[in-house]
Amino acid sequence: MSCPPSSDQEARGASLLIINPNTNSRVTGNIRAAVERVIAQATTVRVVNPAEGPFAIENEADRDIAEPHVLALVRESLTSRPDAYVLAAFDDIGLSTARGMVAVPVVGAVEAGIAAARTMGRRFSIVTTVEAALPGIRAQLARHGAADIATARAAGIGVAEAADGTRFARERLLRAIDLAVRTDGADAIMLGSGGLTGCADMLRNHTSVPIVDAVLAAVKMAEALAPACQRSYTLRLPEAKTNARA
């Protein structure tokens, strides 16, 4: 039995809330511009960042500071009821807690990016910004069962520098990609930082391997999953059967 969406659902499309957990408005703007290039015409998005917290999230201390601000944005959004959320950082900051706060999909860039990269070859490598991010990324790979098929490399650039898209940043990223392909045997590359969102197209012009933008992979996953929990869907549970015995 098929259950096609109603015409109202098709017309409205999905509404997504995308949270950049750092306070760098340049990163937020880059995410917004990249997302608008890939979403369906009927999908609406709001891309936000906290007013307070770290300007860049590059280590565990930054992550711990950012998490309550991310969760505050989720809490504040409850009245607007987005159809899905995307946490646009390669650290799944607040992911588990956020999923306990809402009854709609909350998609993190790590798991979405790994799921996408797995489809593109036997091995892949995550290219990120700073060396300090590598222990956390390797822990995420282990948590998601991908440690045996993936490596992680840092380009040696800050998140803010990556978002600015300087020539130096591009050269460092391409060097890391080249090492991942030649040394690690990567069949695909995943960009492991919200600050790198939107860089994939530029980098693809200089390499022959597929490049996955983890944040955009999360956005497309959230967009696909959103109809399952849209407000116009009504879940009808079967009535409980009464016990026939006295």
Question: pLDDT tens-digit profile of 24-79?
Answer: 999 999 999 999 999 999 999 999 999 999 999 988 899 999 999 999 999 999 99
Alpha carbons 98 and 121: distance in angstroms, whole number? 32
Q: What was the pLDDT predicted at 232?
A: 40
Q: Is the pLDDT of residue 129 over 70?
A: yes
Percent of the chain with pLDDT over 70: 88
Token pair in block for residue 55: 């300007």
Would you place residue 107 in the very low, low, confident or very high pLDDT band (cuts 50, 70, 90)? very high
Architecture of domain 110-214: 3-Layer(aba) Sandwich (3.40)
Would you place residue 230 in the very low, low, confident or very high pLDDT band (cuts 50, 70, 90)? low
* 77 close to 50: Cβ distance less than 8 angstroms: no
Can you give the residue ranges of every domain in the chain? 7-108+218-229, 110-214
Q: What is the mean pLDDT of the chain?
A: 88
Question: pLDDT tens-digit profile of 148-197?
Answer: 999 999 999 988 888 888 889 999 999 999 999 999 999 999 999 999 99
**pTM given for the model:** 0.86
Mean pLDDT of 216-241: 69
Question: pLDDT tens-digit profile of 108-122?
Answer: 999 999 999 999 999
Backbone angles phi, psi at 240, to 5 degrees: -65, 140
Q: Is the pLDDT of residue 5 over 70?
A: no
CATH code: domain 7-108+218-229 is 3.40.50.12500
Candidates 153, 195, 193, 197; CA nearest to 172 is 153
Question: pLDDT tens-digit profile of 78-91?
Answer: 999 999 999 998 88
Instruction: Sheet containing 106-108: give its strands across.
Output: 44-48, 15-19, 84-87, 106-108
